[in-house]
Structure 1
């Protein structure tokens, strides 16, 4: 009898091991890309996003990156079709404005990322559930690193890390990256117009206001308990909102998700679009894109976290204009510097 019990226990253990092994083998298709602020370009030196069965690599061929904080750059195709969730990120880059290299290696919250991929999201273009397919590696001043998961216009922050500065000499650099160590390379990339590192509007912004304080990339991550409230003319039916945030995240809500949206901890938005049908079934879209950065950041900061905050949109009865407020139970601040675009879609 004891022998039979041992066999049963042994088989039970084997079953558990087999189940865990099957869980570990769950795979997804994903690629990766690099993001850096428009004012702080990063030169990719070497990096890897590592899973047990796959490593997505970066090297000098990626060149200079400054698509904007949280925005995707290019991707490199790979022959591998399905990969496990990555568990490690390692990255080294040259901050051209700061003229120094940063490097680091970090363990990822694999359980958090797996849960996010498993949950997925509703793609309101296809009206089907989808999941994430791109990791965005953000490189900011002072060695700040953020990892986002993204797909179909939706972006979620999945990790925040701190790199340390390092010294790389021309003698020790690998051959294809030695150009980064040429005399005045970083300065030329930042200041010489022939390289066109910056778009004209960014150069104009830098000349007028200077570069953002590096601390702002931490400020962008501060969260408030808020939601958007959109007051439409009588008979209007809201069906979708698309919100982008200063921390690089993007949220799209429609259907039941929009109906059931509640106050939750979100970072401050830098843009929001909403779409609705009026009582005669004409479709409209309004875009607050972008908000004035200082105006909206200051408004949220002033209202603070003691009460829920509403980002309140009031559409005029003729569907021609819209006013925007940031408000709680005791105070209301109208945003007057944002750019509102309105379009009749049908």
Structure 2
């Protein structure tokens, strides 16, 4: 995820210069003729190290989008998109109904649940400001909207659905599946390809495949129990905002944030200027874009240490659960390093394990 965002920042800075198996059902919506339609595609996701495969089913509503016979490695992390196959204009789903295999748990889950259709409709209708158009169109405003419905499967039967678009990912809802045993008589009727989902040797090979689970991840997880509940912990929100200190009287241009719960937001234009406190999950990664007083552009990758930043948020909110914290980014005079500090009232916690990489834009002057 980091490389494409880095390229996006360079582009922005430079541009300133220049029924699982049968007929799907819908138990929630009745008047199909009035349902709005949007162009979207489905995607699957899972956490790194916990691959899944959907055996049967999909997203239901006034229509059906299949997730069947789809595999996700999760190699890009929780909340990252994969590849979709059903891109087109259609109604949004109101239900998820599917069976999937959790390789790390060596078991199968089933879910048949309403999803938050009204929230999804609201998100797609309202949309958000198009950052690419803003930076490539002389600062003009243009609305865009979400283009992907991402379905994530985590250990313990946890299912999270997000609306995803360029520069923004928003959680729609969290749902829960239950363990399910596919009848052996049903497995016996499957073709050789589908039958592999229930083959013990194949499941083991999946867990040993370094293209599915990188070797460093497998070593890190070796001998440790599956951290059930972790992905619900990621959903914890606090009221906070990023703040920026530029030593050279420069100007922040954008701040792209990825959070541990899979959500993401690109702050720029008036949203960055107003910079309101908002209930957000704990941040995992920041991409920053700024320019100094001479107009030289810079970008920065900020990657947090998971244990350090979770401990810092826990400590900062220990005595004031409803407090409003600031995550302060201080850019030095040379514009080649960034330090990070979490602040709430008189409490300050530094984050020394944060990984920082700063780079220069290829353009020397930026249009004011």
Q: Same fold (TM over 0.5)?
A: yes
Contact residue 169 and residue 181 of structure 1 kept, 8 A = no
Residue 212 of structure 1: how far off its partner (Å): 5.6
Q: Which moved more, 1:294-303 or 1:318-327?
A: 318-327
Q: CA 1:30–1:170 in structure 2 vs 1: closer, same or farther (change >3 Å)?
A: same
Partner of 1:275: 289
Partner of 1:158: 172
Partner of 1:33: 43
2:213 is aligned with 1:198: yes
Contact residue 51 and residue 83 of structure 1 kept, 8 A = no
Partner of 2:359: 343
Partner of 2:20: none
Q: CA 1:41–1:236 in structure 2 vs 1: closer, same or farther (change >3 Å)?
A: same
Q: Unmatched 5+ residue regions in structure 1?
A: 1-19
Partner of 2:206: 189
Partner of 1:298: 311
1:266 aligned to 266, 273, 280, which one? 280
- Does 1 or 2 have the higher relative contact order (CA < 8 Å, sep 6+)? 2
Q: Superposed, which structure 2 residues align to 1:115-130 within 5 Å?
A: 115-127=122-134, 128-130=142-144
**SS of residue matched to 1:29:** strand
Provide the aligned length of Structure 1 versus Structure 2: 319
Residue 330 of structure 1: how far off its partner (Å): 1.9
Contact residue 330 and residue 338 of structure 2 kept, 8 A = yes
Contact residue 27 and residue 85 of structure 1 kept, 8 A = yes
**SS of residue matched to 1:184:** helix
Q: Deviations over 1:60-94 (max 9, x none)?
A: 2x23432321111111145xx32112111112111
| In 2: Cα distance, 1:27 partner to 1:237 partner | 40
2:337 is aligned with 1:328: no
Contact residue 136 and residue 150 of structure 1 kept, 8 A = yes
User: Normalising by the residue count of structure 2, what TM-score does the alignment of the two structures yield?
Assistant: 0.82
Partner of 1:74: 83
* Greater C-alpha Rg: 1
| In 2: Cα distance, 1:232 partner to 1:23 partner | 54
Q: CA 1:38–1:109 in structure 2 vs 1: closer, same or farther (change >3 Å)?
A: same
Q: Unmatched 5+ residue regions in structure 2?
A: 1-29, 135-141, 364-368
Contact residue 310 and residue 326 of structure 1 kept, 8 A = yes
1:100 aligned to 104, 107, 121, which one? 107
| In 1: Cα distance, 2:52 partner to 2:147 partner | 23
**SS of residue matched to 1:221:** coil
Residue 21 of structure 1: how far off its partner (Å): 7.0
Partner of 2:71: 63
Q: CA 1:27–1:154 in structure 2 vs 1: closer, same or farther (change >3 Å)?
A: same
2:196 is aligned with 1:179: yes
| In 2: Cα distance, 1:218 partner to 1:27 partner | 31
User: Normalising by the residue count of structure 1, what TM-score does the alignment of the two structures yield?
Assistant: 0.87
| In 2: Cα distance, 1:212 partner to 1:249 partner | 23
Q: Deviations over 1:162-196 (max 9, x none)?
A: 100000134213435211122333223213x4x74
Q: Deviations over 1:275-331 (max 9, x none)?
A: 111100000111112x00000001001111242111111111221211101111121
Contact residue 44 and residue 72 of structure 2 kept, 8 A = no
| In 1: Cα distance, 2:57 partner to 2:340 partner | 43
Q: Which moved more, 1:179-188 or 1:301-310?
A: 179-188
